[in-house]
Structure 1
C-alpha cells in the first residue's frame, strides 16, 4: 500500500465526480488538528509528523492498495515521489 497526503472526503462535488485531487478537505487533512493525544503529546497528521516512521495513524481514505508486483520505486511515484516536481 501507499499513503496519500491529500485525503479525499469522498462526499464533495469533486470527489463524487472522480476528481478527488481537487477535494478542498484533502489538503486540510495534511495540515489539520492532531488525531489523538499520547503520553508524549499530540499525534499530528502527516505533514506535522515524521512520515518516515515505522508506524503511522491515517484515515482509511489515505491508504491506497497496490499490487505486490509493482516495484517500490514505481509505487513511490503514486504516493508523493513525483509531487515536488509536479508544479513546474
Structure 2
C-alpha cells in the first residue's frame, strides 16, 4: 500500500497521515551541516507489517540523497534497512 508522506521540516520528521488521526513518522536531528541523523521510526500497531516503515525510511533516504545530506542511522529500523539495501550505504557518514 502506498501512503502519502509529507516532510515536516519544522518538526524534523517525515509523517504519514493515517486514519483516525494516527500518524507514522520517521524523525531526524541535524547534528551538523548537511547531516541527518534518523533517530526513530514509529508506526501505529494497526499499520505494522504493511510496509509503512520501509516507505517512511525510503522517503527520508531519498530526501537525503536529493539534498546531498549524509546520514547517521541511530534508529535500528533505519540501520537494518540500509544493511538490506546496499544502494543506500553511500549515504552513511
Q: Does the pair score TM above 0.5?
A: no
Higher relative contact order (CA 8 A, sep 6+): 1
Which structure shows the higher strand fraction? Answer: 2
Select the structure of larger CA radius of gyration: 1
TM-score range, shorter chain: under 0.3
- TM-score, normalization: structure 2? 0.24
